[in-house]
Amino acid sequence: MSLIENSLERLRRAALAAKDPGVAAAVAPTAARVEPITALEPRIAHRRIAIDLARLRAEGYLPEEGQERRFADYCHRIKRPLVDRALATGAPQNARLILLTSALPGDGKTFMTINLALSMARERDVTVLLVDGDLPKAHISHVLGMHREPGLLNALRDDALDIESLVHDSDIPGLEILPAGEPAEGAAELIASVRMREAAFRLICRSPRRLVLFDSPPLLVSSEARALVQIPGQIIVVARAGHTPCQAIVEALTHVDKSRLTGLILNDGHVSAGSGYYNYGYGSDGKSG
């Protein structure tokens, strides 16, 4: 039984107990562990943006027309273990912090992050907050027209600024966006700060149904990435066949806590079943991280 189901069951039993304690006892589950309900804070009013899917496709961040169904199947296979781990009974809170990174630019990391966020938004039991954590490039913020909006960096610079107030709702149900924010000197130090950890946990504590998906810079060219990768409970590394040297992948993995490494995605390649890689077989033009 998921955390959401447990919480709903607890509410139902409490309502029955108010009417008839005997009835509530009769319907109590015998094997499932009931988790305490997390009290939600009053919702902060978010600004709302429209996601321009046509622009995303034109910029190379969505699969080509006619390939959507096949690619949706790949995304489903990738997201399923991520969602299951995040919602598992007894899972640590940071399991709901999920990060995609790569060894080098041009591996298709941002492409995968955007498509995984869209796939997760279709889930019934969760919402997904897409965070543009690729601070040097801010691909997501630019393609969504949010590069002038305050975001993650603003919240890290200003301790009095509530990061939740910078989150945007979107016209896609279940999908929220946090832009990178205004550029700042010392971004790597800001990411490595206690303030960053506090901000990340603030985002997941807002709701037990929210998954936070970070687009990270490449590990081998960004000190920000090597700081950011210390925070999430689940990490996926993206590589590109014929582009990413094997030695670069090995070196990138030295920066990742293996207990939090959830998987590897191999773009533009063909791998055998059970190889330990996810494979989606689409190209990247390099703009998509």
pLDDT at 269: 63
Shared domain check, 204 and 92: yes
Both 164 and 271 in one domain: the answer is yes
Query: What are the pLDDT digits (tens) for 102-129?
Result: 999 999 999 999 999 999 999 999 999 9
- Looking only at the bridges linking them, the beta strands covering 168-170 and 47-49 are parallel
Least confidently predicted of 1-15, 38-52, 118-132: 1-15
* Under 8 Å between Cβ of 218 and 101: yes
Task: Note whether residue 26 is domain-resident.
Answer: yes
Claim to verify: residue 180 and residue 259 sit in the same structural domain: yes
Q: Specify the pLDDT at position 34.
A: 32
Number of folded domains that form the chain: 2
Same domain, 8 and 108: no
Structural domain range at position 218: 44-279
Q: How far apart are CA 79 and CA 232, in angstroms?
A: 16
Domain match, 19 and 146 both:
no
Do residues 274 and 236 both lie within one domain?
Answer: yes
CATH code at 274? 3.40.50.300
Residue 32 sits in the same domain as residue 79: no
- pLDDT per residue as tens digits for the range 196-238: 999 999 999 889 999 999 999 999 999 999 999 999 999 999 9
The structure's pTM equals: 0.80
pLDDT at 53 over 50: yes
Q: What is the mean pLDDT of the chain?
A: 83
In this structure, the answer to whether residues 225 and 257 fall within a common structural domain is yes
Task: State pLDDT tens for residues 75-97.
Answer: 999 999 999 999 999 999 999 99
Together in a domain, 190 and 205 = yes
Residues 49 and 32 in one domain: no
Q: Is residue 265 part of a domain?
A: yes
The span from the CA of 85 to the CA of 83, in Å, is 5
Residue 221 lies in a domain: yes
Examine the domain organization and report whether 9 and 132 are in the same domain. Answer: no
pLDDT for 184 equals 83
48 and 29 in a common domain? no
Indicate whether 284 belongs to any domain.
no
